Amino acid sequence: MPGCCLIAALLFFGPRVALFLAWLFTSWYAAFDSRLIAVLGFLFLPWTSLAWMYTFFHNHGQLSGGYVVLIVLAALGDLGAYGGGHRARQWTTRERN
């Protein structure tokens, strides 16, 4: 599938580009307590960082209701990306043997 790589690249770089643009043009990074947390979120949990920024500014920093679901889904998406890569490597290794 030729479009598969494009979709994977968008899913990987999309939230990081959005975080970079938010940092560049808005004050959304005020949602984080420190720059270290913001940078670690950018590197390792970009979907969760985006969801946290959205929740922080749209629900006045309160984590309640549907916003909890949003944060959990974003965290699962981030963790699934890491787990999916590990599973793909295991599957490829088994196919070669």
Residue extents of the structural domains in the chain: 3-96
* Confidence at residue 44, expressed as pLDDT on a 0 to 100 scale: 92
Over the range 26-53, which residues count as b (16 or more CB within 10 Å of their CB) and which as e? eebbebbeeeeebeebbeebbbbbbbbb
Predicted confidence band of residue 92 (pLDDT cuts 50, 70, 90): low
Each residue of 42-81: pLDDT tens digit?
999 999 999 999 999 888 878 888 999 999 999 998 888 7
How confident is the model over 7-14, as a mean pLDDT?
78
